Amino acid sequence: MSSIEFRKDLFADERDDNLNEIGKPTIRQDILGHVTGRSPFYDDHLFDGLLHMRCVRSPHHHARIRSIDFSAAQRMPGVVRIVEAKDVPHNLNTLLSLLNFGRDDEPLIAPKKVAYIGEPVLAIIAETERQARDAIAAVRVDWEVLPHVLDVVEALKPGAPSVNEVYPNNTFDYGPYDHQKLRFGDVERAFQEADHIVEGEYQMSPIEQAPMETAGAIAAPETNDRYVCYTSTQALFFSLGTTAKLMNMASSRLHFVGGTVGGGFGGKVDSIVEPMSVLGAMLTGRPVKFMWDREEEMQVGAPRGAERWRIKDGIARDGRIIARSFTGFFDAGAYIRLSSYAVQKGVGHLPGPYSIPNVAANVFMVFTNRTPATAMRGFGITGVDFAIECHMDKGAETVGMDPIEFRILNAYRDGDMKAHRRTAKNTALIESCQVAASKAGWRIAPDYAQMSSLVGGGVGDRAAIPETVTDRIGLIGERRRAEMPTEPYAGSSERGRVPAGTANEAIGAAAPQREDMQIDLARMGIRKPSAQPQPPQQQPHYQPASPVPPRPIPSATPPSAAASFTPAPPRSPAPPQQPAEPAASQPTPPQSQPASQPAGQPQPYQPERPFQRGVTRPGVSRFISGTRRR
């Protein structure tokens, strides 16, 4: 029996929640293999003549490579190939370059300088893993240790060591600025008018995903000048594209095979092990396995990055938040990876699910000499959400309100204008708070228990885009010349103003390439607003709790008056359709015959004869000798 309770009444006017799978005891497709131990993982593929790759890694946070002596390792038994930085065809990349976001900043193998403990400077391929490990231990590297920085605030100071040569200011570039800005309204004026100022700082440490299966891949040459790669990646095509770029080859020459991932949680999207194993196969002409051990997984496996958030609220005497300011720091580690995207996700979430008329944010992606950070479980949102909700408790305590009632009072309602100049839709924080309070036995005032996300939003200044104060503080490179504050508007008296009502430029979506790609809302269970006027539906009446907020929640406003909500008529069940009988003159084709394609439509590819089994069939490495069976 399912323990999930569905509150279908909350969105009954917007979608059909009669779901086929969610909330029902459906058996996973892969569960039988998991419980019997027969699910195939990448390491279950067996290859004749499999070689093993290990890396020489930096023991320093920051150092220059003077020289590498691998002569002793080269003479050791079983060593097949020494892989240097110069062997990588295109030894510079950044993950999001596939989306044209950011400049290439990270080498696959460091050629001259390392920026974090564990960065690879050399790889050795040997007949066995033991021989590869012994050869690694015989390599001697002459290091010139450099100053390093591990704190995000220290990294922004003028005298801080430059971590990343592509971004020498230790910050990612967001347009002309060294941080991502958000401006909505006039935060400085609102702080002066507030009855309470509440400030707080919140810190989240890096978190390693710690999958049971460490990251790894096996690559092998195929018979048709291609390379097959069996991998544990969470992002198969992302890894394929990254490998093609680093190997400077067409992606059509790569055959990537994913499948069961032995735990990932975001930590297996960075595409490091795949290009290394493919490089080894290219250089040796034999299958190569590159797999991290547990120590490497913990040290060089990219964690969720550390975050630091400073939040300042201006709160009126009645509990309304009238201004909120954010200063955020994402610790990216030594290279970009996915942190630049995490910043944009975080800023896109501000100021949380709350209707606040004045919002400002400065959020920095900062390079430090730590392990590069990557994805993990809602990265970019999880940390700032933690900070916001901790700060909401602090704000409720300051004004003497119940913390749940404080959230309900300030929550978005349908039709409210968000700080990104988009209208809030499908809001449900109020109902979520009410249900949570009920389940926990937490008593809230009747006024708050009757409030609704469908009532009171999108009217007056709640729906308006205010005049917005802007600034040009934090241009790229300014912080390297002189120390500057990081808070919004701090450090300069110059201000610009954007007129009230100025919205963002609309972005039109690309048209579907084919008719069958057109989104069918009805098939997804989403109800379209009716063009016919509908009679107003009665909503619960309530009066705001004392003290009465002047920016508010009107009582008994029907949802049809809200700016962006039009109730749809109730659906009438469709009459059952009788199956049509086939005409007597037209015999029914056999089930095995494919339906004929309309004239002019492209026909699906059909080979003249089926592919035959054997090591010469397309897409199969001549080295593969089977899979492990448990």
**Extents of the domains making up the chain:** 44-146+209-299, 152-207+303-470
- Please say whether the beta carbons of 562 and 594 come within 8 A: no
Query: Which pair of structure tokens corresponds to residue 262?
Result: 């032995």
Q: What is the DSSP string of 205-235?
A: --B----SSPPEEEEEE-TTS-EEEEE--S-
pLDDT tier at 528, thresholds 50, 70, 90 = low
Q: Which CATH architecture has domain 44-146+209-299?
A: Alpha-Beta Complex (3.90)
Max distance between CA atoms of the chain, in angstroms, equals: 89
pTM: 0.82
- Euclidean distance between the first and final Cα of the chain, in Å? 32
- Please say whether the beta carbons of 389 and 380 come within 8 A: no
Separation CA 384–CA 310 (nearest Å): 10
Separation CA 86–CA 91 (nearest Å): 8
> Is pLDDT at 237 greater than 60 in this prediction?
yes
Cα→Cα distances 538→445, 452, 567, Å = 21, 12, 12
Query: Which pair of structure tokens corresponds to residue 229?
Result: 């790669």
Beta strand pairing call for 140-145 and 63-69: antiparallel
**Residue range 66-80: mean pLDDT, rounded:** 98
8-state DSSP, 118 = T
Separation CA 446–CA 431 (nearest Å): 14
- Smallest CA-to-CA distance from 96 within 345, 312, 325, 324 is with 345
**3-state class (DSSP) for residue 390:** helix
Provide the pLDDT for residue 344.
94
Exposure string over 340-365, b if 16+ CB within 10 A, otherwise e? bbbbeebbebbbbbbbbbbbbbbbbb
- Please say whether the beta carbons of 259 and 171 come within 8 A: no
The tens digit of pLDDT for each residue in 577-590 reads 444 444 444 444 44
* Of 615 and 17, the one with more pLDDT: 17
Separation CA 44–CA 47 (nearest Å): 10
> Is pLDDT at 478 greater than 90 in this prediction?
yes
- Please say whether the beta carbons of 99 and 152 come within 8 A: no
Tally of CB atoms within 10 A around 236: 16
* Of 143 and 538, the one with more pLDDT: 143
CATH class of this structure's domain 152-207+303-470: alpha beta
Task: Evaluate whether 44-146+209-299 and 152-207+303-470 have a shared fold.
Answer: no
Separation CA 234–CA 236 (nearest Å): 6
> Is pLDDT at 569 greater than 80 in this prediction?
no
Q: Of 120-134, 245-259, 414-428, 593-607, where does mean pLDDT reach its minimum?
A: 593-607
Provide the pLDDT for residue 398.
97
Cα→Cα distances 258→8, 233, 444, Å = 38, 7, 50
The tens digit of pLDDT for each residue in 432-472 reads 999 999 999 999 999 999 999 999 999 999 999 999 999 99
Provide the pLDDT for residue 526.
65
Q: Of 184-193, 295-304, 464-473, 523-532, where does mean pLDDT reach its minimum?
A: 523-532
pLDDT tier at 620, thresholds 50, 70, 90 = low
